[in-house]
Structure 1
């Protein structure tokens, strides 16, 4: 333990850990909105940032690995009675301990940000993804130690750092996908939907490969001859074979898999019912009043929906939720603090379309007509979606101008006549009939 303490104080281990924490935590806090939605997206974001941390650990190990050559004590140590493997244990332990703590500290900085907002914690998956991240850093450091001893040139560490970035970057895109899942520590970590996870079988296969890399680094570090160093390649080959043998081939498991529990709906006890996915349960209280404001506007029409559900479809996977009677689906957006983003937009998205979902089957719908009718229900002048609806960056300016003209025509009528016209628009939408002239006739 005293030798390990010396290594912790005087080796590159503490410096490597410090750089790792700065790089990892800095990357996290540059864009907290990417991972503020919950525990799993945080764990995956930190794994994604191994793109920075893994090469740094590899380079730090290589720098430490050339220490004996740099200080010219190799021959002196070779005369001691202690086997080289025994002498290297404190170095290996120091690098492993400090980098493991560094990874956990990066994780802790993220947890401190979401601890008051994120409610859904898939403990096993979160722990597995985190442990594999720790193993990835240790394997990088140990492999760097072995290569640094094998090639003790001053340029080895910086070159390995650059090579490490390239390896991690390109390993994500290896084809087929199951091979990338087995060898890339960042595969599957880019978040495309809030219910995304990493299957534990994929993590297990990756752990086998990372452990093989670590063993190879260890053998290179303790090897006393070129024959032994050649044998050090065997764990890498066996690890690759084992990892590719156990990694799943199912595309649904490999390609941004969905955690069904995270996508389950959590609803209010009273009516009108408002529901959100379990992973967004913390925003239900904030969503409920604005959702009910939109439902109150819709309730001016007969037979309108009586519930608001979060739209849990993962559109980037080509999935769409079929329309459901009595339910309006709206997206739930999370801000960088993990709370409900753009609450005012929820009201508009509920009333937009007059409670009839866009399913792509009806080509007779008119956006200016529907916008004018929706804003009449809200009692305000129509406005462009650009700058209002997140992600909307372009719109024909004539669209909103036409909606305003139709809305002004509705305002000129009596409330009963205007309401009748809006009801007619909704009935035409439900029947997939042309709505273009329904408000124009009213406006004349």
Structure 2
């Protein structure tokens, strides 16, 4: 008796694109992008972690590295067949040239783009627990992501055209230098056309800027690929026309592509004290700890006249009747991850802001300086004042005499009764507000 067996089903070969995507150079290119961006970002996390605007700024500035790196990765992949000596063999396949180019280029495009997006996602997740009142700023991500992908695709075409192993590093260096020059000192039109426009400083793009940038960069890269490998090269005119239209729109807008975040113009205030304490609305969550850091000052100033109405943080010079709140930004100095790094130093800076810091230097007579020192020592002494005094105590006779005078003035202010001290401080702040050294009361 003969047994009949069914024929085995043919094993389906994996798609070439899948094979290219999971093996070889492409995954390594994505890992290099992830590490090249992630490690420097993590090393300076205290400068952006806790501020959504700062995080977006860092990710956008990172495009100065991402874009040249993506272009170099695509360029290296584009020269692969030449390095292997398989160009002629690869050309005998039945697939059209454009398909062969895309099968080789798309894995690198996808992996470097994934590396950038994973870095961006991790940075946003790292900021989320420490955010203090702002909101995420993902507006520039679409344009930056497409620019990264476009750089890899355009670099692949360069790698096929330029027959040298140095094409990839030279392309990376040229891209980095070119983007840096445009970002640092280019014309408004040049900056508008550059995917890496430099530091945003809290600015937001107009709603259509990321999409126009995506069409500009993506259209140029696609036009280059079609012009090189398409059977009908005239098809490259369509993405080229779209890119030029988007580029013209960007160049015409220039610096008008960016506007100040409305939230950055708002203040959040605690009016229960005098002066009131106001912080920028982007960091509203820090108001309680800022108020606590300044509470020792406001308690001692209760009932004192001639004070500014508030400490405020407009990101510029204080307005009439205001004193400059010590800076929360740039992050990494006074504040790290949503916390004040040194509340005592912060309080001392707040006192100096009350003392007419914008008065001419000619008003800083010895009498004024002694009064300033006594007020600072009473309200919020500098954390380094003790070290300064000890250094003066070891100095020459003039420095020792100056130290004795300062200590005597401090003692006289501290020894006044509450009403007398309140009147003296009222006269002092009135004279300092008017930058009149003759009106500063003696100690």
Same fold, TM exceeding 0.5? yes
- CA offsets 1:206-231 (integer angstroms, 9 cap, x no match): 33321133213422552579xx4x99
Contact 2:266 2:280 in 1 (8 A): yes
**1:291 matched to 2:294:** yes
The equivalences for 1:149-228 within 5 A come to 149-173=160-184, 175-182=186-193, 184-189=194-199, 191=201, 195-219=202-226, 222-223=229-230, 228=233
- Residue aligning to 2:337: 337
- Residue aligning to 2:319: 322
- CA offsets 1:225-279 (integer angstroms, 9 cap, x no match): 9xx4x9969956863563133445465655xx42111342233485565332222
Runs (5+) with no aligned partner, structure 2: 1-13, 389-397
Runs (5+) with no aligned partner, structure 1: 315-319, 388-397
Contact 1:368 1:402 in 2 (8 A): no
> How far has the Cα of 1:438 moved from its partner?
3.1
Taking the aligned partners of 1:379 and 1:51, their CA distance within structure 2 comes to: 44
> How far has the Cα of 1:152 moved from its partner?
3.4
Instruction: Choose the corresponding residue for 1:277, options 273, 277, 280.
Output: 280
- Give the count of matched residue pairs: 411
Contact 1:64 1:145 in 2 (8 A): yes
- CA offsets 1:264-323 (integer angstroms, 9 cap, x no match): 2233485565332222123223212112222112225235356443x1224xxxxx2312
Q: Secondary structure at the match of 1:128?
A: coil
Q: Secondary structure at the match of 1:116?
A: helix
> How far has the Cα of 1:18 moved from its partner?
0.7
Contact 2:270 2:278 in 1 (8 A): yes
> How far has the Cα of 1:22 moved from its partner?
0.7
Q: Secondary structure at the match of 2:16?
A: helix
> How far has the Cα of 1:72 moved from its partner?
3.5
Taking the aligned partners of 1:223 and 1:244, their CA distance within structure 2 comes to: 26
* Runs of 4+ residues deviating >6 angstroms: 398-401
Taking the aligned partners of 2:177 and 2:380, their CA distance within structure 1 comes to: 56
**1:142 matched to 2:153:** yes
Instruction: Choose the corresponding residue for 1:33, options 40, 46, 57.
Output: 46
- CA offsets 1:186-223 (integer angstroms, 9 cap, x no match): 213264xxx44344454344333211332134225525
Contact 2:77 2:156 in 1 (8 A): yes
- Residue aligning to 1:2: 15
Taking the aligned partners of 1:200 and 1:174, their CA distance within structure 2 comes to: 25
Contact 1:364 1:433 in 2 (8 A): yes
- Residue aligning to 1:304: 307
> How far has the Cα of 1:31 moved from its partner?
1.7
Cα distance change, pair 158–210 in 1 and its aligned pair in 2 (3 A):
same
Taking the aligned partners of 1:66 and 1:412, their CA distance within structure 2 comes to: 81
Cα distance change, pair 102–133 in 1 and its aligned pair in 2 (3 A):
same
Give the aligned CA root-mean-square deviation in angstroms: 3.6
- Residue aligning to 1:116: 129
Contact 1:297 1:378 in 2 (8 A): yes
> How far has the Cα of 1:59 moved from its partner?
1.1
The equivalences for 1:389-408 within 5 A come to 405-408=405-408
- Residue aligning to 1:422: 425
- The answer to which of 300-309 and 9-18 deviates more is 300-309
Contact 2:67 2:147 in 1 (8 A): yes
Cα distance change, pair 403–283 in 1 and its aligned pair in 2 (3 A):
farther
Taking the aligned partners of 2:383 and 2:44, their CA distance within structure 1 comes to: 33
Cα distance change, pair 4–338 in 1 and its aligned pair in 2 (3 A):
farther
Cα distance change, pair 3–330 in 1 and its aligned pair in 2 (3 A):
same
Instruction: Choose the corresponding residue for 2:82, options 69, 77, 101.
Output: 69
- Residue aligning to 1:265: 267
Taking the aligned partners of 1:400 and 1:280, their CA distance within structure 2 comes to: 44
Taking the aligned partners of 2:18 and 2:142, their CA distance within structure 1 comes to: 24
- Residue aligning to 1:16: 29
Q: Secondary structure at the match of 2:139?
A: helix
Taking the aligned partners of 2:200 and 2:399, their CA distance within structure 1 comes to: 36
Q: Secondary structure at the match of 2:260?
A: coil
- Residue aligning to 1:244: 248
Taking the aligned partners of 2:271 and 2:110, their CA distance within structure 1 comes to: 48
Taking the aligned partners of 2:25 and 2:125, their CA distance within structure 1 comes to: 28
Q: TM-score, normalised by structure 2?
A: 0.79
> How far has the Cα of 1:147 moved from its partner?
0.7
Cα distance change, pair 401–7 in 1 and its aligned pair in 2 (3 A):
farther
